[in-house]
Amino acid sequence: MSIISIKNLSKTYNPDTIPVHALRGVDLTIDAGEFTAIVGPSGSGKTTLLNMIGGIDSPTTGEVIIDRQNITALSAGELIRFRRDHIGFVFQDYSLLPVLTARENVEFVMQLQGKAQSECDQRVDELLTAVGLRERDNERPGKLSGGQQQRVAVARALAPKPRFVLADEPTANLDSRSTSDLLDIMNRLNQDEGITFIFSTHDQRVIDRARRVVVVEDGVIKEDTVVA
């Protein structure tokens, strides 16, 4: 079942001065349960494409439809709420709030949603157990390794039960062991719970784990391969 449908998506930066064509008429469909890597060299447009899917940036032309909702037609406030409730994000730099504990970072979005504390507590316990950090739940990010912080970030992304998770270069700051551990966790969540993961990456370790690889070059999709 398709959860993301991208139609004729284009993005041009600096159109009135020196235009930069980041995306050029991209069409793409993502189904529920995929474990997909969007890959390409720096400047290829892969991060722009991920930002469009996440509603972080708006297209020059085209549509991004998520669960039959055209997010490019939403107001700024509607888009903020849609992202909060339907899309999970994992960033290269972890983006955890340093003054909050691991537990507080994970439950933060649920509190913004107005969830009951009992529901937050149960969900946080489940997620921190799933990423192997239940015993570190009261530690602040500064006390955790990079790999542990990224695992907290994955738990945070999953907390509001999003339709899918967007991971932008999630392994860029991790060593090989931490990368392997993180990808094992994501793969398990994908296989056991059907969580959809979409990566923007140039890390071969991530590409090797993906079951679909979308290659972007010069703002267009050059290859789209499903890996057996």
Domain of residue 78, CATH code: 3.40.50.300
Given this model, what pLDDT does residue 77 score? 94
Query: Is 106 inside a domain boundary?
Result: no
Angle at 89 (CA atoms; ends 86, 95), nearest 5 degrees:
140
Query: Is 159 inside a domain boundary?
Result: no
C-alpha 62, offset from chain centre: 21
- The whole-angstrom separation of Cα 209 and Cα 212 is 9
Query: Is 156 inside a domain boundary?
Result: no
Query: Is 104 inside a domain boundary?
Result: no
- The whole-angstrom separation of Cα 177 and Cα 171 is 11
Q: Which domain range does residue 23 map to?
A: 2-95+164-226
pTM of the prediction?
Answer: 0.93
Q: What is the total count of domains within the chain?
A: 1
**Residue 157 neighbours by CB distance under 10 Å:** 24
Give mean pLDDT in consecutive 10-residue pieces for the chain, a chain of 228 residues: 94 89 96 96 92 94 95 94 95 94 95 94 95 95 95 95 95 92 94 94 94 96 91
Given this model, what pLDDT does residue 227 score? 87
Q: Which residues contact 127 (CB under 8 A, 6 or more apart)?
A: 106, 155, 158, 159
Query: Is 207 inside a domain boundary?
Result: yes
